[in-house]
Amino acid sequence: MANVLITAAIPQAALEVLQKAGLNVESYTGNDLITKDELIKRIAGKDYLITPLSTQVDQDVIDADPQLKLIANYGAGFNNIDVKYAREKNIPVTNTPKVSTVSTAEVTTGLIISLAHRVVEGDKLMRTTGFAGWAPLFFLGHELAGKTLGIFGMGQIGQAVAKRMAAFDMKIIYTQRHQLAPEIEQKLNAKFVSMDELISQSDVLTLHAPLTPQTQHILGAEQFKQMKNSAYLINASRGPVIDEAALLTALQNKELAGAALDVYEREPEVAAGFKKLDNVILTPHIGNATVEARDAMANIVANNVVLVNQAKEPLYIIN
């Protein structure tokens, strides 16, 4: 009987698929994230590894299990895994794309609206000092209609955000390595621009690109100085895409109007300076934190294990 190690609690849907296939499942149930030492200890003798993107799977971990046949990453990202080394060892690595699209796009939309209309800031006010009453110039935010939404990374999530924000009558511009087909641009009413144009023209700049050596710190001090002082920045992609120290300085110097972060450069750590700013919204990596998305992700990783165990090719191989 083949053995599966799951390094964090995941939806029951995955366990049902694995057990129905007759696989022996071992799950890590600790309250904290699994440590590297514990992972190396547990992975020995396992055929399959299911792991969330919060668990680092490096060369040491991979070498600790010579019979490993698959690393199924529970998440759309995969920067937690040494995919190149896994490939050298002929171990496929899979992820769970697509199923996070709706949830992440909805969270991004919510963050944009909350920033522009100061929703979180207003909630904090009402829970503390309160307010004296409605007044013409009190607590003003900004309407999104007529403003320019810049999207860095126009994949499935970026396109889903564009679709939703177009309903707010926002002008959509975007950039990425390759321009979309004309028919897709027309459908989204989106215009392809250079990175410099995206940064300088956006009233709201939202990031939806994967973390690669090319995108790491794609936004830093120089880029923040190019942005409008009235602009908002949203990051629901990967934390290291932004130079957080530079962002904090830019916000403190009022080079930006505000930011909303769902991911962090040194996750789960959050720089203390961000917590002191009322114009910053901080959420705990909840982009795809819905029952629907997480169940779908669970089904993908479990079914990929079953496919490999049946000598079939799994879905969404990334290496």
| 106 a catalytic residue | no
| 142 a catalytic residue | no
Whether residue 51 contacts residue 7, with contact meaning beta carbons closer than 8 Å, is answered with yes
Catalytic residue among 238, 244, 255, 294: 238
| 238 a catalytic residue | yes
Helical axes 291-309 vs 101-116, angle rounded to 10° = 150
> What is the distance between the alpha carbons of residues 83 and 187, in angstroms, rounded to a whole number?
35
Catalytic residue among 42, 118, 208, 285: 285
Whether residue 91 contacts residue 63, with contact meaning beta carbons closer than 8 Å, is answered with no
At a CB cut-off of 8 Å and minimum separation 6, what does 197 contact?
173, 175
> What is the distance between the alpha carbons of residues 185 and 195, in angstroms, rounded to a whole number?
17
Report strand pairing: 24-27 vs 48-52: unpaired
> What is the distance between the alpha carbons of residues 152 and 195, in angstroms, rounded to a whole number?
8
Catalytic residue among 26, 38, 197, 267: 267
Whether residue 207 contacts residue 181, with contact meaning beta carbons closer than 8 Å, is answered with no
Whether residue 94 contacts residue 70, with contact meaning beta carbons closer than 8 Å, is answered with yes
Catalytic amino acids?
238, 267, 285
